[in-house]
A = this chain, B = another copy of it.
Amino acid sequence: MSAERVARGDARRDLMDIAIDCFARYGFQATSIDRIAKAAGLTKGALYYHFKDKEALLFAAVTKRLSQFERRVVTDLAAVPDPATALREVARVCLDHATKSNHRRMIVTLMVEAIDTNPRLAAEFRAMMHRFRMFLKRIVQRGQDSGQFRADIAAGVAAEVFTGAIMGAEIQYYQDPRTFNLAATITAFIEQFINWLSAPAPGSPRPLRAHRAAEQRSRRKSS
């Protein structure tokens, strides 16, 4: 790769970081190409060399941020053999991201907005959430295989509960950071979730079997 190519690659990466910062600070609508160019110390022409429009820049920036998050979670957790510890660790990383910068807030609110307004971004987010749930499902299954977690719980449904509880808590925190206690909420959830997974199967496991049957029906439907 030529030196010029490397420099172009670096400029593209820097631009994405600067753009996502602008989007997070001012919102997508209120962020002009001019503003991003100015923040990056570039001309508008130089910016258009890398991205055809603001939407392309948003798409690249969000895709990059999602893959960074996924890499971080997967890498961090490869070293954690205990499934309960791994689940606590995922929750800790989410809490960390939610409270330490406004980038995650931007990503999560954008994900919801995209559902009805941006099919391309919506598809990207849908696939990412699907991968994230599969990742969590495998952690739960690992605990089930080792006998640490109950075998009568549908691992896929457990993953859906986990992602929902974290995301729903985050959104309430973004909506009301002054009074919503995100750390306490996530800590309480993760404790109840692991208790639930770890508890011995109750005398009458019917409702839990019903979840698993429902999940299998839904899996058949979607395949």
Contact = CB atoms under 8 A, between A and B. Distances in A.
A73 interface: no
B112 A181 contact: no
A158 B112 contact: no
Nearest to A117: B27
A161 B168 CA distance: 8
B164 A169 contact: yes
Q: How many copies does the complex hold?
A: 2
Interface stretch (A12-20, A48-56, A75-83, A209-217): A209-217
Given A178-B222, A179-B130, A185 B172 contact: no
A188 interface: yes
A210 B27 CA distance: 36
B222 A208 contact: no
Contacts of A211: 184, 187-188
Interface in A155-175: 156-158, 160-161, 163-172, 174-175
29 contacts: A27-B116, A130-B179, A153-B188, A154-B188, A157-B184, A157-B185, A158-B188, A160-B169, A160-B172, A160-B188, A161-B169, A161-B188, A161-B189, A161-B192, A164-B167, A166-B168, A167-B172, A168-B168, A168-B171, A178-B221, A178-B222, A184-B214, A187-B211, A191-B208, A192-B192, A192-B193, A192-B195, A195-B195, A196-B196
